[in-house]
């Protein structure tokens, strides 16, 4: 009776390591894509002397050419310069909105978890008041009151985003502060700063990083949505959602012009979602 011998790997690679490797590769790809987009936004003005507001009625909806590498829009404005400006605007507003939401959200979450009692209840009630109003509606109300204001735009987005930072920070900090390690540190006389650096921050950092990536993606989509319904920034500002609105009636004549801002939004959001992925605590 013939037998076959099979050579098996005595130490197969754990499935968790394979997943971690895949998530690590996805994060690297997301970072590379985001760096490429940011480089496009900030290097184009240095390498290409295009004016985002200059109109050329002799080159309306022109295709890709040497004079206009990405063509022109319905007013003959250079799409390369306008897309670069729109990327800078979207990334800048998203960064400011996330920072403006993360700092108060994390600090208030830590305060609620640390103090507890009445402080926790009051801050929890505050978040419930914000949650009672849909986020996009709140942004629309603020932007409608202050139309065309960049300050109102990113401030309104930050008002929506800070709630998630607060809730996640409070929930995680409660668990960490109730642990035996924190109790031991307190008995040994260590202060709040040591407890934050040694116990809280290592647990909070991966969660905050993930929330920041998702929050930036949400901010960019919200800004584009506001531009699409014409309640965000005003023309002739180059903004991705506003560009889509302006070019939508000319889809049949120049589909490539409409596809460009849509593709940019897709790539920015994709890069941020890849970066968020699954963070290891």
Residue 157 lies in a domain: yes
Cβ atoms of 247 and 74 within 8 Å: the answer is: yes
Residue 44 lies in a domain: yes
Nearest-angstrom CA–CA distance, 211 and 206: 9
Residue 92 lies in a domain: yes
Cβ atoms of 266 and 274 within 8 Å: the answer is: no
More confident residue, 203 or 19: 203
pLDDT score, position 260: 93
Residue 100 lies in a domain: yes
Residue 258 lies in a domain: yes
pLDDT score, position 278: 55
Question: Over the chain, what is the mean pLDDT?
Answer: 84
Number of domains composing the chain: 1
pLDDT score, position 20: 61
Q: Taking the mean position of all CA atoms in its chain, how far away is CA 148? A: 21
Res 67 pLDDT > 60: yes
Res 44 pLDDT > 80: yes
Percentage of the chain lying above the pLDDT 90 cut? 29
pLDDT score, position 158: 84
pLDDT digits (tens, 9 = 90+) for 198-247: 999 999 998 998 899 988 988 888 888 888 777 777 778 888 888 998 99
Residue 255 lies in a domain: yes
Percentage of the chain lying above the pLDDT 70 cut? 90
CATH classification of the domain holding 149: 1.10.3720
Cβ atoms of 108 and 166 within 8 Å: the answer is: yes
Least confident of 41-45, 128-132, 267-271: 128-132
Nearest-angstrom CA–CA distance, 279 and 281: 6
Residue 9 lies in a domain: no
Residue 7 lies in a domain: no
pLDDT digits (tens, 9 = 90+) for 104-160: 999 999 999 998 889 989 999 988 888 887 777 777 788 778 776 777 777 888 888
Question: Domain residues for 80?
Answer: 19-276
């Amino acid at each position: 009776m013939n037998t076959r011998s099979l050579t098996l790997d005595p130490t197969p690679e754990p499935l968790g390591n394979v997943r971690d490797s895949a998530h690590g590769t996805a994060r690297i790809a997301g970072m590379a894509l985001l760096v490429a987009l940011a480089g496009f936004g900030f290097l184009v003005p240095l390498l290409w002397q295009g004016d985002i507001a200059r109109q050329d009625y002799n080159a309306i909806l022109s295709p890709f050419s040497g004079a206009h590498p990405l063509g022109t829009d319905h007013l003959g404005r250079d799409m390369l310069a306008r897309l670069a400006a729109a990327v800078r605007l979207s990334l800048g507003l998203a960064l400011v909105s996330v920072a403006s939401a993360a700092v108060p959200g994390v600090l208030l979450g830590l305060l609620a978890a640390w103090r507890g009692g009445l402080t926790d209840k009051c801050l929890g009630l505050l978040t419930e008041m914000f949650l009672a109003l849909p986020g996009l509606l709140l942004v629309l109300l603020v932007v409608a009151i202050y139309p065309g204001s960049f300050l109102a735009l990113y401030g309104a987005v930050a008002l929506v985003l800070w709630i998630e930072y607060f809730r996640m920070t409070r929930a995680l900090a409660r668990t960490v502060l109730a642990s035996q390690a924190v109790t031991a540190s307190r008995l040994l006389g260590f202060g709040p700063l040591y407890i934050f650096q040694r116990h809280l921050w290592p647990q909070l950092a991966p969660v905050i990083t993930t929330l920041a990536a998702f929050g930036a993606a949400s901010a960019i989509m919200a800004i584009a949505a506001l531009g699409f319904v014409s309640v965000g920034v005003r023309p002739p500002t180059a903004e991705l959602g506003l560009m889509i609105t302006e070019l939508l009636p000319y889809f049949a004549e120049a589909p490539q012009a409409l596809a460009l801002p849509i593709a940019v939004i897709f790539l920015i959001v994709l890069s941020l979602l890849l970066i968020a992925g699954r963070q290891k605590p």
